[in-house]
Each structure stands twice: as C-alpha cells, then as structure tokens.
Amino acid sequence: MAAVRHIGDLPDMRGLQGGKDVHRPAGGRGMRGLGVHGIHGLDRLPVLREGRTMTPAPARHKRTTGRTGMTIGFVGLGKMGRGMASNLQTKGFSLMVHDVVEAPMTALEALGAKRGTPAEIAAACDIVVTMLPTGKEVAEVVLAPGGILDHARPGTMILDMSTIDPETTDRLHEETRRRGMTAVDAPVGRLAWHADRGQSLFMVGADDADYQRALPLLQAMGTTIHHSGGPGAGTRMKLVNNYLAIILCQLNAEALSLSQRFGLDLGKTLDVLYGTTATNGQLKVNWPNKVLAGDTEPGFSIDLAHKDLTLIVQAANAARVPVPVAAAAREAFSQARARGYGQNDFSAMVDVACDIAQIERARLPKGYTPPA
C-alpha cells in the first residue's frame, strides 16, 4: 500500500495507480454521544505507519455463501452509489440493492445483483451500505419505525456513506449500539467518475474492530481510506473537507470573472495561477475538465454544494466556531440556485459570476495544456 497523501473531493493523481492508501489516526474512539461539540479521546488507536500493510480481519455474522461469504445490501444508487455498488458486485461481493429509481437497479441486476426492499435487504444482509442524499433520508430509511434497523438482526453493520449532519450520524451510532448492531460513518471524497472506477476516497469514523470489518468493502470501492477517528469522525471530517472544496469554487469564480472583465487571456491567467500559491485543486484539476471546457453536467451539483454548506454552517454554529466565509459562500450558492443553476456542476459558479457581471463566460481554447 502506498503512503497516504491527501484528503479531497479531487483526485490525487499520484495515488491512483498501483495500490491503495490506508491511513489510521493517531487517536481513536472517543466520539460516542458527543453531538457536534467536539472530538475527544482520540488517543487510543494505533497508527498504521507509512508503508505497512493492514490485513483485514475476517468478516463476522455470515448468513449466505459466495466468494466473500457475505451478502451486502446497498441502498441508494445515485451518481456515486451506483458506481460504488457496481465495483462491489464485480469484485466478488454478493449484493442486494435498492433505489427509488428503476434504472440503476436494472443496471446492477445485469451485473448479477439482486433487488430488494430496504426491509428485505435488512433481514438478509450482514452489512447494509447506505448512500443517501441527506440526513432526512437516512433517518427515514434507517432509523424510523419500520426502517432498516427494525428489520435487521443483531450483529448487522450499517455502513453509511452519506454526507449528512453530525447529529444524525450520532443517532445512528447510538441506536445501532442499543440494538446490538454496529455502525460506520464513511462519507466519500472525490467525484462520481472516481466512484465508477473504484477510485473513491473514504473518511471513516468507527471503532477499530468495526473499521476492520468494513475495510474490505472500502478497498473494493476506493483507493484511499482514512480512518479519521471514532464513531462520528468521518462525517465531521467530510464537512471540514467540503468546506474548503466548495468555497474554492466561489473564490475561483470571482477571480476568473474578474480576469474576463480585465480582458486577460484565460490560458495565460491559469498559467500564472498554477505557478503560484494561488492555485488549488478545483482550479487545477476539476475546472479545466468541467466548466472551463464547457461541461457543466453535474459531477457534484450546485444544489448539493449548497446542502453541504448549510450542514457546515449549522454544525459550526452548534460547535460555536464562526465560519463567516462559509456563510457568505452559501448565499452565493443560494443566488445561483435562484437563477436556475442548481443542477449544474458546482464549477459552474464561474458561469453565474460572469452572467451577473454581463461578461463572456470563461472558456479555455481547445488544446490548452496546463504547465507541468
């Protein structure tokens, strides 16, 4: 396994070839029941030192047979979930899947997965993976009366990869523990095309034993896995990560729209920015392949970015941490949604800025090659 490099919604191209990065924290398990007010007691888990390979512990609670000896449920087959579920199915896991949309279930069936209702999946599966839009859906599908927990057996693991509020994550951990089950929060970094290729990044919150049990699934779906701390740490890490990833889109949008007003050549502007500390992963990796190339189809939409900024501001307020830049960026994304851009890729914030200023949209000429 290669050494860990970074956390981000964007690809670390150095780390996507030849192996998977696994990182465990210098601290460990002290997050149960802490709400959003802090992370304490992260000092008990061992460190996976650079260059060492972690051998996953064997899975427990087996109910069916197959190459892995487990049946895995997967609920939520959207842009990210479908790719991750496909990787699990093609890499030897026996899957039962569910989504409110028919097409992704049909696609997974073509790969050999079986479909089922959330209740059927809960009753049949050792581990249930959830990849849902918000905490509201996680509460309704998993925690509410008649939901997954009401149909699952003791020993079942809920592996929630949704980006949600810390309060719902804490509820999930508390409720599964009360019922003799376990939970892991493992929100996803990088974009939908990484999920399709099995190149996702995971930020994991779990006790050590639960992390070990979930690890084979995460390795089948991604290349970089960060054990961020105890229960709830993954969700909180994702909010910190997305704070920077999203506000950079707003900063880039304002800077590039200003360059357009000044009449500067966009390619030369990027050459300068890429050569100074002004550069960032969105501007250097994502944007040249998305909005600056004229592609605003959502890998991660403005609507979802606005949702995450709302989670960030709420969680920060609850923790009494001022985040004025996040609040300002959220209002900029609110304006974009009001102008009809909600389903565009979040890199399209530069189109919003240019349209408001009534200047030509920023687009790179064909054949532009960024400096090495």
Instruction: Write out the catalytic residue numbers.
Output: 238
Q: For residue 36, give the 3-state DSSP assignment.
A: coil
233-262 vs 166-178: helix crossing angle, rounded to 10:
160
Report which of 74, 255, 263, 235 is spatially closest to residue 158, judged by C-alpha positions. Answer: 74
Count how many residues are written for the chain.
372
Burial 274-304 (b: 16+ CB within 10 A, else e): beeeebbbbbebbbbebbbeeebebbbbbbb
Q: What is the largest CA-CA distance in the chain?
A: 65
Q: Are 357 and 253 in contact (CB under 8 A)?
A: no
Residue by residue, DSSP assigns 101-159 as SHHHHHHHHHTT-EE--HHHHHHH-SEEEE--SSHHHHIIIIISTTSHHHHPPTT-EEE
Distance CA 96, CA 128 (A): 9
Q: Quick one: CA dihedral 98, 99, 102, 108, positive or negative? A: negative
Residue 345 carries which DSSP code? B
Residue 152 carries which DSSP code? P
Residue 176 CA neighbour count, 13 Å, CB half:
28
Report which of 334, 281, 285 is spatially closest to residue 305, judged by C-alpha positions. Answer: 334
- The CA-to-CA distance between both ends of the chain, in Å, stands at 26
Q: How many helices and strands in the chain, by DSSP H and E? A: 14, 10
Residue 334 carries which DSSP code? H
Distance CA 239, CA 166 (A): 9
Report which of 13, 58, 48 is spatially closest to residue 204, judged by C-alpha positions. Answer: 48
Distance CA 174, CA 266 (A): 51
